[in-house]
């Protein structure tokens, strides 16, 4: 049965590492739902979060194949245990005189923040797990959405669960 997994990777911050990982997923026909990457506190290393889906066998192969890549330092399937997942969304919505109030209230309900304003738009920043962001989009009048930017999920283990070298 196909299940959603969130995989965390520590990788050498080297040119080409990202394309090697993306290439592995396409070459072996693995799914990528989202992929985020940025350097860690140690600039020589990047942390990557990949959301993928597959059967248990496929996920096992994904982690093994990732581990085989020479630049990858560590791989952890965060979904194996308690973890926290967050995604950031920037969404620009129509907010003319008559929608302004409603739109602000809706952002408040989802604990979003209006971070930019023009005569007829709001730009709202919203953080949460993917389902919360989905719910916000669903809650809006679809015609009011002008632009959506999502980062994809980042994840971290709960409590003392630490991924580092």
Partner 1 sequence: MDRVKGIELTGAEIVVRCLQEEGVEYVFGYPGGAVLFIYDELFKQDKVKHVLVRHEQGAAHAADGYSRASQKVGVCLVTSGPGVTNAVTGIATAYMDSIPMVIISGQVPTYAIGLDAFQEVDAVGVTRPCVKHNILVKDVKDLAVALKRAFYLARTGRPGPVLVDIPKDVTMHSCEFHYPETVAMRSYNPVKKGHAGQIKKAVQLLLEAKRPMIYTGGGVILSDAAPQLGELVRQLGFPCTSTLMGLGGFPASDRQFLGMLGMHGTYEANMAMQNCDVLLAIGARFDDRVIGNPAHFAQNPRKIIHIDIDPSSISKRVKVDVPIVGHVPDVLEEILKIIKSAAQRPDPASLGAWWGQIEQWKARNCLRYDRNSKIIKPQFVIEKLFEVTGGDAIVTSDVGQHQMWAAQFYKFDKPRRWINSGGLGTMGFGLPAAMGALLANPGATVACVTGESSIQMCLQELSTCKQYRLPIKIVNLNNKYMGMVRQWQQFFHGNRYSESYMDALPDFVKLAEGYGHRGVLIDKPADVEPALRDAFRRKDELVFMDFITDQTENVYPMVPGGKGISEMILAEDL
Residue 5 backbone dihedrals phi, psi, to 5 degrees: -130, 150
Question: Minimal distance in Å, beta carbon 162 to partner 1?
Answer: 16
Taking the complex as a whole, the smallest distance from the CB of residue 60 to partner 1 amounts, in Å, to: 7
Nearest distance from residue 35's CB to partner 1, in Å? 17
Q: Of residues 61-90, which lie at the interface with partner 1 (CB under 8 A)? A: 61, 64-65, 67-68, 70-73
16 binds partner 1 (CB under 8 A): yes
- Cα-based distances in Å from 161 to 6, 20, 75, 158: 15, 27, 13, 6
For residue 29, the cross-strand partners are none
For residues 64 and 161, which CB has a smaller minimum distance to partner 1 in the complex? Answer: 64
Distance separating alpha carbons of residues 29 and 106, to the nearest angstrom: 39
- Closest to partner 1 by CB, 49 vs 123, is 49
- Of the listed pieces 59-67, 77-85, 102-110, 111-119, which binds partner 1 according to CB under 8 A? 59-67
| Piece of the chain touching partner 1 by CB under 8 A; list 13-21, 80-88, 110-118, 142-150 | 13-21
Spatial distance between the Cα atoms of 145 and 11, rounded to a whole number of angstroms: 36
The verdict on 40 binding partner 1 (CB under 8 A) reads: no
Q: How far apart are CA 138 and CA 148, in angstroms?
A: 13
C-alpha to C-alpha distance for 5 and 8, rounded to whole angstroms: 10
């Amino acid at each position: 049965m196909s299940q959603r997994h969130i995989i965390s990777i520590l990788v050498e911050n080297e040119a080409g590492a990202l394309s090697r990982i993306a290439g592995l997923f396409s070459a072996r026909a693995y799914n990528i739902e989202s992929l985020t990457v940025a350097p860690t506190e140690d600039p020589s290393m990047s942390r990557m979060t990949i959301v993928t889906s597959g059967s248990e066998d496929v996920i096992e192969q994904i982690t093994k194949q990732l581990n085989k890549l020479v630049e990858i330092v560590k791989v952890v399937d965060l979904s194996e245990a308690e973890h926290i997942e967050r995604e950031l969304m920037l969404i620009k919505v129509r907010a003319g005189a008559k929608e302004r109030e409603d739109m602000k209230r809706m952002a408040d309900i989802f604990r979003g923040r209006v971070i930019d304003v023009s005569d007829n738009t709001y730009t709202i920043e919203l953080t949460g797990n993917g389902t919360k962001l989905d719910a916000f989009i669903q809650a809006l009048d679809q015609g009011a959405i002008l632009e959506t930017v999502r980062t994809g999920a980042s994840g971290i283990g709960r409590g003392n669960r630490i991924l580092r070298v």
